[in-house]
């Protein structure tokens, strides 16, 4: 919304005027600029609403259940407010709506995929609270739901490219530090191999952190590395999101 108001509405219509303030709005066309401010916006939303959400979760008695087979020292964490992912996902989606170019089908695909994965986590946490035990969805249920989302995500990209036309998803894979993979003719892997890549990266990155969730110092470090390394599927002329990492070209 900020992009449309400041760039397409103000800058495009008044760029011929010799107004310095209008000329300065030209920076809003650059993805790097908007990505940086989207990150800051998400951070500010988290900082502003984080404490309020924790207090609300405590009042609603939304607490974490601890596995009985875990370390006894972790039993003191029973009742710690959970469902903090609501704040993370909410801040990401709000900042995306504010700063992204919403005419791109890939931006909406990324946001819907984020919401669907968040919904799986929400159902898992809610079932834990409802049953008053540490086990929510079973491993098979989680993996099946995540796999369905991954296949659906691939289907949207495949359909937009083959049937609708005009969007041109390139099915290229660029690997960091390997310059030859940046060349379109060398990085093309095709839609069907891309399906395997989508499934592996989405399921892998979304479940890697879960294995250490609740263990001191481990979850946050893996979250950071997962967010940094999971956006390896960026291809030319495309926008894509992995489970915890963004790669935006809009």
Half-sphere exposure (Cβ direction) of 169: Cα atoms closer than 13 Å: 27
Contact call for residues 245 and 206 (beta carbons, < 8 A): no
How do strand 240-241 and strand 246-247 relate by DSSP bridges?
antiparallel
Domain locations in the chain as residue ranges: 1-103, 105-250
3-state secondary structure of 49: helix
pLDDT in tens, 126-151: 777 766 665 678 888 989 999 999 99
Burial class (CB in 10 A: 0-12, 13-18, 19+), 130: exposed
Q: What is the pLDDT of residue 234?
A: 37
Q: What is the pLDDT of residue 238?
A: 36
Percent of the chain scored above 90 by pLDDT? 18
Record the tokens describing residue 207, joined without a space: 């479940």
Q: What is the pLDDT of residue 113?
A: 92
Cα(222)–Cα(49) distance, integer angstroms: 24
Contact call for residues 245 and 226 (beta carbons, < 8 A): yes
pLDDT in tens, 99-120: 998 888 888 998 999 999 989 9
Q: What is the pLDDT of residue 124?
A: 82
Sequence-distant (6+) residues with CB within 8 A of 186 are 180
Closest by CA to 151, choosing from 104, 191, 93, 94, is: 191
Residues of the chain with pLDDT under 50: 69, 229-250
Q: What is the pLDDT of residue 245?
A: 37
Rg (CA), the chain: 21
């Amino acid at each position: 919304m900020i992009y449309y108001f400041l760039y397409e509405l103000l800058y495009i219509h008044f760029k011929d005027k010799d107004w310095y303030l209008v000329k300065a709005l030209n920076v809003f066309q650059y993805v790097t600029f908007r990505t940086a401010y989207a990150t800051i916006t998400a951070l500010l939303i988290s900082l502003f609403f984080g404490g309020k959400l924790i207090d609300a979760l405590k009042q609603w008695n939304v607490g974490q259940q601890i596995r009985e087979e875990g370390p006894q020292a972790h039993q003191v964490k029973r009742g710690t407010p959970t469902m903090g992912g609501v704040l993370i996902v909410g801040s990401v989606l709000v900042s995306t709506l504010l700063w992204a170019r919403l005419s791109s089908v890939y931006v909406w695909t990324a946001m819907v995929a984020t919401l669907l994965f968040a919904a799986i986590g929400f159902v898992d946490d809610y079932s834990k609270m409802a049953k008053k035990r540490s086990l929510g969805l079973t491993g098979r249920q989680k993996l099946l739901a995540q796999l369905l989302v991954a296949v659906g995500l691939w289907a949207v990209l495949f359909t937009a490219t083959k049937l609708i036309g005009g969007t041109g998803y390139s099915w290229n894979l660029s690997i960091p530090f390997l310059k030859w993979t940046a060349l379109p003719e060398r990085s093309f892997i095709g839609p069907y191999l891309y399906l395997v890549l989508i499934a592996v990266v989405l399921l892998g990155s979304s479940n890697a952190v879960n294995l250490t969730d609740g263990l001191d110092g481990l979850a946050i470090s893996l979250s950071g590395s997962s967010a940094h390394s999971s956006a390896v599927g960026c291809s030319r002329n495309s926008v894509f999101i992995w489970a915890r990492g963004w790669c935006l070209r809009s």
